[in-house]
Each structure stands twice: as C-alpha cells, then as structure tokens.
Amino acid sequence: MLHYLKIFSWFLFTFAIVGIIALLAGMEPTVTSVRKGLGLMAMQAGVSSLILIGFRLNKAEQLPTKVLLYSGWALIVLLVVVGQIWLNV
C-alpha cells in the first residue's frame, strides 16, 4: 500500500500544479468558481506535498512507515471530504 500511496501522491501533486496553471491561464471550471477551484488545487498541492515530505522523512528514518501509511491515506480521505464540502457550499 505504501507504493500506491507514493504513486497517488505524485498524481495529486501533478494534477494540482496543472490545474493551478490552467485556472491562472484563464480556463473556467464548469463545476465551481475560479476562486474555489484555485483554493481546492492549492489544498491538494499542500496535502500531496506533505505526504511526499513524509516519504523523505521515512527514507531518512525519521518517520515510521506505519505512521506514514496511515496518516497519508487519512490526509487523502480528509482532502476528499473537505473538498466535496467546499465545492458544494
């Protein structure tokens, strides 16, 4: 599961950066406003960055693997829940 977490974190980070660039370039989201879209993309980039930093700390043996695994997936679930609430409010 740790391998999948790392792949998923890189996807989240990449899509967040591409989304921010697209919104700043003038693309209009169909679901929400540009402001909410930028906020959601920034939150996504922040969560994925935290998880990727966790992988560096794990490699340096400063963060246990189980802590990284459980907290990483918990952050992703929290991102999905908060993101859905944010989009629907």
Report the pLDDT value the prediction gives residue 37, as an integer from 0 to 100: 87
Identify whether the C-beta of residue 18 lies closer than 8 Å to the C-beta of residue 29. Answer: no
Overall number of domains in the chain:
1
Q: How confident is the model over 14-71, as pLDDT tens digits?
A: 999 999 999 899 888 777 788 888 999 999 999 999 999 999 999 999 999 999 999 9
What domain range includes position 64? 2-88
pTM for this predicted structure: 0.89
d(CA 85, CA 65) in angstroms, rounded, equals: 30
